[in-house]
Amino acid sequence: MSAKDVRTHIMLDLEIAAHPLKHNPAIIQIGAINFDIETGEVLKTFFVDINLESCIESGLITDSDTLQWLEKNIPDTLSASQNSKVALQIALKRLTTWLSSCHKSNQVSIKTNYPAARFDPTDLQVMIWAYGSTQDFRWMESAYKAADLRKPWMYYNDLCVRTYCEAAFSITGRNIRREVDKSFVGKKHDAIDDCKHQILYLTKCRDALRGLQGSAIAPVPFGPISESSVKRPRTVLDDNRSRMGLD
């Protein structure tokens, strides 16, 4: 059996009320999807409209140009945020709880499907994908700090869909994003629909890269790892997992 990625994969997308280059914009909507990295299957979803005023009170910012853009292009999203009863801190606490539940569900699935296998803890982490190497991640960092909460994942768990697409283009010569963009399912600038579209980018790129491998490349052996390789000093990765309640 070839090696399988058993980490918990999450796609994240945010809608904001300030210029994307700002590091601390008010976040008006969070969408996240727990998905199967092999197939792109949606396993669980998280969605919340965040009260705009609560973001401002917490120190996050808006700007008039972006608010005008929101009013013109996605007025329902802006209105939902303005009328939402969910404050920033509550929304982020819910996201943290949801991430932990996704990871725990994945652990149950792993034990069911691979009862004899033993995995190193570093192979069982929660990985957060977003479209861009800095934007959504920087915004989330600022939001958790503004809400006086600890972000439940570390910087080395950030993964970039855009970078993955660029790598696939460089290797295969195919512009996967352009192909996928020919048909957008759902509503653009809806956090969940954007997540689904980004997952499609990812899975199409993976399929294209795998198509180049052919049968000449031997699969990576899969199976139990030795007890000696499991026992190792505790690291910051373990501390991060404990913080999320993932032990």
CA 214 from chain center: how many Å? 30
Helix 191-213, helix 161-172: angle, nearest 10: 30
* pLDDT exceeds 70 at position 215: no
pLDDT (average), residues 69-79: 98
* Cα distance between residue 199 and residue 127, in whole Å: 13
Q: Which two tokens stand for residue 229?
A: 């390789």
Q: Give the pLDDT band (50/70/90) at residue 178.
A: very high
Q: Give the pLDDT of residue 3.
A: 65
* pLDDT exceeds 60 at position 222: no
User: 238: burial class by Cβ within 10 Å (0-12, 13-18, 19+)?
Assistant: middle
**pLDDT one-digit tens code per residue, 103-159:** 999 999 999 998 888 888 888 999 999 999 999 999 999 999 999 999 999 999 999
Q: Where are the domains of the chain?
A: 8-243
Q: Which two tokens stand for residue 71?
A: 């009013």
Which range, of 145-159, 164-178, 183-197, 205-219, averages the lowest pLDDT?
A: 205-219
Strands 27-35 and 158-160: unpaired
Q: Give the pLDDT band (50/70/90) at residue 229.
A: very low
Listed in sequence order, the residues at least 6 apart from 170 whose beta carbon sits closer than 8 Å to its beta carbon are none
* pLDDT exceeds 70 at position 247: no
Q: What is the mean pLDDT of the chain?
A: 88
Count of H helices and E strands in the chain? 10, 5
pLDDT (average), residues 215-235: 43
Q: Give the pLDDT of residue 120.
A: 84
Write the single-letter amino acid at 234: R
pLDDT (average), residues 15-23: 97
Q: Give the pLDDT band (50/70/90) at residue 246.
A: very low
* Cα distance between residue 67 and residue 179, in whole Å: 31
CATH classification (class only), 8-243: alpha beta
**pLDDT one-digit tens code per residue, 20-37:** 999 999 999 999 999 999
pTM score of the predicted model: 0.84
Helix 75-83, helix 64-73: angle, nearest 10: 110
* pLDDT exceeds 50 at position 207: yes
* Cα distance between residue 65 and residue 17, in whole Å: 9
